[in-house]
Amino acid sequence: MAPQDIFGNLGDKDEVLAMLEEIASQNRLDEYQIGLARILRSRQDPGLLHTTLEYATKIERSSDILIAEALNVLVTQNLPVSIRALAAGALGHLIYHRPPRAGSDFDLEIVMDSMIHVLHRSGSRALKKALFEAIGLARNRKSRNGDRSPLPMPRARL
């Protein structure tokens, strides 16, 4: 099995971007979600954050750690709205593509509640739009995966 974090020094942006492009072209992003999560956690470079969030929308079977780090990006108020809106879109995709996990204590309802909280608090129309779409996609996970408990739906209007 390949290591899940091959990105090394995140300060070498060009090398990290080249690795991201290579594993994406091989359809192997799912294998490196721990590394993708570390990139999101580091927040050293907005361009690297942007690219990583775009690649996160290509994940086919998402991990809890990547969902958690995308949520952390979303709720970080000192990041640009464009990055936070990308994080919202990535979250919707990742939640939708999270396989059911027996015995997992990761609570998607808390993630959804956090997304709804940001939706209600945000003054940015772009962020609200991205969140509304992401929450809608995430809620569709229920029917796709046969979950019994529905995820909460936002009550706010754009």
Longest alpha-carbon distance in the chain: 46
Q: How confident is the model over 14-31, as pLDDT tens digits?
A: 999 999 999 999 999 999
Please count the other Cβ atoms lying within 10 Å of the Cβ belonging to residue 14.
7
Does 3 map to a domain?
no
Q: How confident is the model over 64-119, as pLDDT tens digits?
A: 999 999 999 999 999 999 999 999 999 999 999 998 876 678 888 899 999 999 99
Does 7 map to a domain?
no
Does 101 map to a domain?
yes
Does 152 map to a domain?
no
> Which of the four pLDDT bands, split at 50, 70 and 90, describes residue 148?
very low
> Which of the four pLDDT bands, split at 50, 70 and 90, describes residue 8?
confident
Does 41 map to a domain?
yes
Nearest alpha carbon to residue 74 among 122, 28, 29 = 122
Q: How many domains does the chain have?
A: 1
- The overall pTM is greater than 0.95: no
Does 5 map to a domain?
no
Does 93 map to a domain?
yes
Does 150 map to a domain?
no
pLDDT at 102: 62
Q: How confident is the model over 46-79, as pLDDT tens digits?
A: 999 999 999 999 999 999 999 999 999 999 999 9
**Structural domain harbouring 35:** 13-145
